[in-house]
Structure 1
């Protein structure tokens, strides 16, 4: 059998990277550099001044340098292997894998901060409040700049790679989200450190320094759990119920098509894939089914299994 030139229109790539993939990669690299420099300064200052809140912030930053480095590496890996046929649905979920790893790091950091803070609460140590406050303020400034770099473009319109349904809905990039949460956690511990240091200096509340460490650890643990839950859902190919419901509504609103099996899952920050098995009356073709699903803009990869009743 000789295929006509029209057959080529059914071939397509599997490039499901986020619309702002390269821009987010650059933002993340800048934040890695900023965080690394501040990490060195805060750890050194924490040891010199004896502040647990400041030292916790510094070590917290150290783990974030690693986590942010993972995020940057994930962007690079996903871009380099975007067209690698070894990845059946592309590399759009590499960021979710990095986000899950970062969530684990974030959770371990919260445990470490809480443990050390409890020790300092039971065994108070002398703190150089003035010097520690200055360093904490500088650290907060770096966190604010980093958060600004990462705060933009959380949702974007996707690229059209095929002539059928493509991603246009707004969805989070869990890799960028993980980097942003690490920076927010840094900012939180910086703010708590400043409050504790000022209270210690002017009110004599030395106990507030480790207490703030415990409070920060609890908040960070909650963020880590949320990121771990959401990124794990993507990695496990959980059903995107919103898209699945839209597919059912479009296909079963008439009496000529019934869905026998449906799978909808995420393959990239703004991309969804679907396998739709239908039983249709005579005259309703697979192309007609595809046309009915054209309004589902989240779909970047659609496979239809078609049977006649």
Structure 2
């Protein structure tokens, strides 16, 4: 029995997302915007003795730090794109960064929840006018940042598509992580403004921490969706284990050919690799099978093993 193995024409193993460079620039721009606002708030808070300004400034710093994870992952993946020690390229760096960023987002949600609980049990006086002004400025910066990151973001917060290649651009979990940090900051600003307006009108000090707890729960839910999705990519789990493998089987298993072993996994945003073992009564060349799979454009790296089917007489 003769076994033949082939792989894709090019062995560059470049599996970065289509918008890698553009998304990298966007994240650096948002970090610069957030960091500038953070410095201004902390400085102004120190000069004017405003705890609200200082607190919001440090809060923004956590999101800036998390977005830095995204930016550095883009940079590292791009710089090591031809490093052969990464067997299947650096396309998964975004998912690794997204996973780390999602853990940071979960910790921020916990901190917001804990701080809100503390405020609920031990209310402290609030300078409503000053706090509202800070929240409005923070919201404005976050909305600009969200607009910058939103362009190619797929808004499904953890909901999977039935079949990626029929549903627009591939999900870049690294950009999604940065987007969720900005969105989380915007959400806390909106909830804070609502709570402060109610508090200043009716004197309800409890409204602010209650809104904080609600915000923390929403952010925790976003974080879990991102942890689940990035973790699946890192562990080579397909979001839909039937669709892509079924499409491969449908194309290959004709004229008596049988796939005896099939592995499909994601190697970067919109890029999948596949290893197929085919047994056939009339084996074609591995190259022929690979050409048959060319219409499945998510498959960026295909390895085919072909062997002759053993007859009962043999």
TM-score of the superposition, structure 1-length normalised? Answer: 0.87
Partner of 1:218: 217
Partner of 1:307: 307
Partner of 2:250: 249
Partner of 1:94: 93
Root-mean-square deviation (CA, aligned residues, Å) is: 2.1
2:111 aligned counterpart, secondary structure: helix
Q: How does 1:32-47 map to 2 (within 5 A)?
A: 32-42=31-41
Q: How does 1:226-265 map to 2 (within 5 A)?
A: 226-239=225-238, 241=241, 242-252=243-253, 254-265=254-265
CA drift of 1:292 comes to 1.7
Provide the C-alpha distance between the structure 2 equivalents of 1:278 and 1:46, rounded to a whole number of angstroms. Answer: 68
**Unpaired stretches in structure 2, ≥5 consecutive residues:** 1-5, 155-164, 310-314
CA drift of 1:283 comes to 4.3
* C-alpha contact (below 8 Å) 1:154/1:171 kept by paired residues: no
* C-alpha contact (below 8 Å) 1:45/1:135 kept by paired residues: no
* C-alpha contact (below 8 Å) 1:256/1:280 kept by paired residues: yes
Provide the C-alpha distance between the structure 1 equivalents of 2:92 and 2:209, rounded to a whole number of angstroms. Answer: 38
* C-alpha contact (below 8 Å) 1:97/1:235 kept by paired residues: yes
Partner of 2:106: 107
1:181 aligned counterpart, secondary structure: helix
Cα distance 1:268–1:302, how it changes in 2: closer, same or farther (>3 A)? same
Cα distance 1:10–1:269, how it changes in 2: closer, same or farther (>3 A)? closer
* C-alpha contact (below 8 Å) 1:42/1:136 kept by paired residues: no
Partner of 1:297: 297
Q: How does 1:113-128 map to 2 (within 5 A)?
A: 113-128=112-127
Provide the C-alpha distance between the structure 2 equivalents of 1:117 and 1:144, rounded to a whole number of angstroms. Answer: 24
**Unpaired stretches in structure 1, ≥5 consecutive residues:** 1-6, 156-166
Partner of 1:17: 16
Deviation readout 1:229-275 (Å, 9 max, x if unpaired): 000001111135232121111112x2421110111111111110010
Deviation readout 1:14-63 (Å, 9 max, x if unpaired): 11111111110000001001111223445567784555xx7765443221
Provide the C-alpha distance between the structure 2 equivalents of 1:192 and 1:49, rounded to a whole number of angstroms. Answer: 20
* C-alpha contact (below 8 Å) 1:237/1:266 kept by paired residues: yes
* C-alpha contact (below 8 Å) 1:49/1:129 kept by paired residues: no
2:65 aligned counterpart, secondary structure: helix
